Amino acid sequence: MLRLEGVGKRFGGLPALDDVAFTAPPGELTALIGPNGAGKSTLINCITGVLPASAGSIRFDGRELCGLPPHAVARLGIARTFQNLRLFPRLSVLDNVLTGLTAEAGRSMLMAMLRLPYLRHRERQLRLRALEALDRFGLAGKADWPAAALAYGDRKRVELARACVGRPRLILLDEPVAGLNEAETALIGQELRRLRAAGHTLLLVEHDMELVMSIADQVVVLDSGRCIARGTPDEVRKNPLVLEAYLGRTSVTA
Ligand SMILES: Nc1ncnc2c1ncn2[C@@H]1O[C@H](COP(=O)(O)OP(=O)(O)OP(=O)(O)O)[C@@H](O)[C@H]1O
Ligand SMILES: [Mg+2]
């Protein structure tokens, strides 16, 4: 389980996160929502070691993540997607997904020096797993394409396949359906449900409220870096603080 306590992050003097606390229970989908600039991506970056938190504690299965570099966080079984796609444009779709298995491939480098046939077998296994992941997202037919040649929706799915391929215990998704049409969104929604059913813990940052409210076990609401509400989708939907955060900002009474 992921447990955050008193998490803060400052950029210069400005707080982007302030005293954020919540837990993401194992096997559940926790949605993290909030207006633009609320600090959602910053929080994902702090959890994954991309940015150092300025304060607080982030524990995964009791282990402190604060201070760990991204590769060490990944090795604990935590994977993510990025809000702005981060694929290698010239690599093939398959090779992009294989980068999601670098921790495992790295171990086989040592084996390469010891027993070559084992390495070939291992490589074949990893490629098979990458192909399986692509297949789940309907992309097996494009495995050899350069990532740059894919349409936007396909690129989003390659990122998801890359995040899932290592069978991480915790997957952090930063706006996986942003810019996708209704049919594409529904497919991603189905895949997120399947991942949860398979036992993965999910933290979903998303502005698509229809998806969030239909899929989340728990919703956490950030506003200006602070956690202003937490609860089931129904509880959060009715919370006046949440309504104000989304609607009240520009009202004359603000
Ligand atoms: N690297 C950075 N340096 C300085 N300020 C930053 C940096 N990254 C984010 N911020 C600021 O921190 C705040 C939170 O940004 P963040 O990207 O986490 O918001 P968000 O909730 O993900 O928003 P959105 O829904 O638009 O993606 C914003 O005010 C942003 O300008
Ligand atoms: Mg963001």
CA 44 to chain centre: 7
Ligand 2 centroid, distance to 39 Cα (angstroms): 7
Q: How many CA atoms lie within 13 A of 101 on its CB side?
A: 24
Measure Cα distances from 246 to 37, 209, 223, 243 in Å.
12, 12, 9, 5
Say what the pTM is.
0.90
Ligand 1 site residues, Cβ closer than 6 angstroms: 11, 16, 34, 36-42, 83
**For each of the chain's 254 residues, which pLDDT tens digit applies?**
999 999 999 999 899 999 999 999 999 999 999 999 999 999 999 999 999 999 999 999 999 999 999 999 999 999 999 998 889 999 999 999 999 887 666 555 555 566 667 667 878 889 999 999 999 999 999 999 999 999 999 999 999 999 999 999 999 999 999 999 999 999 999 999 999 999 999 999 999 999 999 999 999 999 999 999 999 999 999 899 888 888 765 433 33
At position 158, the amino acid (one-letter code) is V
Residue 12: which region, alpha, beta or left (left: phi > 0; alpha: psi -120 to 50)? left
For residue 40, the ligand closest to its alpha carbon is 1
What are the structural domains, with CATH classification, of the chain? 2-77+168-248 (3.40.50.300), 87-151 (no CATH)
Ligand 2 centroid, distance to 83 Cα (angstroms): 6
Nearest CA to ligand 1 atom 8: 42
Nearest CA to ligand 1 atom 17: 41
Token duo for residue 9 = 């992050």
